[in-house]
Amino acid sequence: MPDPEKYKGKRKPRKTRAEQWQHFNQHKLEPPPIEGGHQLAEWLHEIGIYDEGDNGPKTISWQTLAAWQQATGTAISAEEMTLLRKLSRDYVAQYYASDDPNCPAPSLDVGKLDRDSLSDKLDSAFDNAWDD
């Protein structure tokens, strides 16, 4: 249990639940916007982002891409096929890297992480948790 004397006079006024909810929703992580390449993203989802391997997901194969191209009659260039494989490879690499509990979220720019600000936010969250 935190020592109330330690925090005396340092706390901000309590927010209402509505204010807390609005604050929470402002900081939701959103995927980065796609500027162009919508067609490639749609194709990747049609094909499947990865193939099933013996031990989990693996990069989509050339055979999978060729079968999809033939089945749908989609005209796709070699460069686009290579890019689709690269996207699949990056997805699978992140999938396996995410097994590590210390792995940062892919959308988090670790270089711009302000540890002091994060520490203050965590302190505030824990302070609010004990205010009931």
Position 126 scores a pLDDT of 76
Give pTM, 2 decimals.
Answer: 0.56
Domain that includes residue 87, residue range: 40-97
pLDDT at 11 over 80: no
How would DSSP label each residue in 43-109? Answer: HHHHH-SSEEETTEEEPPPHHHHHHHHHHHT----HHHHHHHHHHHHHHHHHHHHTTSTTPPPTT--
Domain count, the chain: 1
Candidates 127, 119, 121; CA nearest to 4 is 127
In this structure, is residue 61 part of a structural domain? Answer: yes
Q: Which of 1-10, 17-26, 90-99, 105-114 has the lowest mean pLDDT?
A: 1-10
The answer to whether position 53 is within a domain reads yes
Q: Quick check: is 125 in a domain?
A: no
- Dihedral of alpha carbons 124, 126, 131, 132, sign: positive
- Is residue 46 one of the residues assigned to a domain? yes
Cβ neighbors of 116 (< 8 A, separation 6 or more) are none
pLDDT digits (tens, 9 = 90+) for 63-109: 999 999 999 999 888 888 999 999 999 999 998 888 887 777 776 66
